[in-house]
């Protein structure tokens, strides 16, 4: 008895293929003549298991997320390192996004000067 199970391979007539039958259609014709169980229609592809799809989406999200974290947020020490320029660029983008432009500041200052100071809604009124 064999120690390991062996696969049942059906190689009937495979080695009797003529040398001229090297193209795909000739091989199919040869197989259908000798085996008789070759399907005439192409078989539909099987649906991938759920863990293949999960692994794909994990790979698509975690690898770029790890790269972004490594470049912009990981602590690489106080000295200069290769990620210093991208971090400076990110700081400039944050500053530009969260600060007002000079025109917007002037607009806010004129609105504040024109409108009278309204009492806060939570503040008690004196009578």
* CB half-sphere exposure, 105, CA atoms < 13 A: 5
The pLDDT of residue 77 is: 86
The pLDDT of residue 79 is: 86
Largest CA distance in the chain: 111
Contacts of 62 (CB under 8 A, 6+ apart): none
How is the chain split into domains, by residue range?
Answer: 11-39, 50-114
CA distances from 18 to 7, 11, 40 (A): 26, 15, 22
pTM, entire model: 0.45
Of 99 and 3, which is predicted with more confidence?
99
Q: How confident is the model at residue 119 (pLDDT cuts 50, 70, 90)?
A: low
Residue 69's nearest CA partner among 78, 61, 80 is 61
Residue 20 corresponds to which tokens in the numbers above?
Answer: 């001229």
The mean pLDDT value for 118-125 works out to 60
| Per-residue pLDDT tens over the stretch 26-71 | 656 655 555 555 556 777 777 888 899 899 999 999 999 999 999 9
């Amino acid at each position: 008895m064999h120690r390991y199970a062996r696969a049942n391979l059906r190689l009937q007539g495979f080695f009797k293929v003529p040398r001229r039958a090297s193209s795909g259609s000739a091989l199919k014709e040869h197989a259908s003549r000798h085996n008789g169980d070759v399907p005439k229609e192409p078989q539909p592809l099987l649906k991938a298991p759920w863990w293949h799809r999960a692994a794909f989406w994990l790979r698509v999200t975690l690898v770029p997320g790890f790269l972004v974290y490594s470049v912009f947020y990981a602590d690489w020490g106080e000295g200069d390192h290769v990620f210093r320029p991208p971090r400076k660029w990110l700081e400039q983008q944050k500053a530009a996004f969260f600060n007002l432009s000079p025109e917007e500041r002037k607009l806010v200052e004129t609105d504040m000067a024109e409108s009278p100071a309204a009492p806060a809604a939570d503040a008690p009124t004196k009578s």
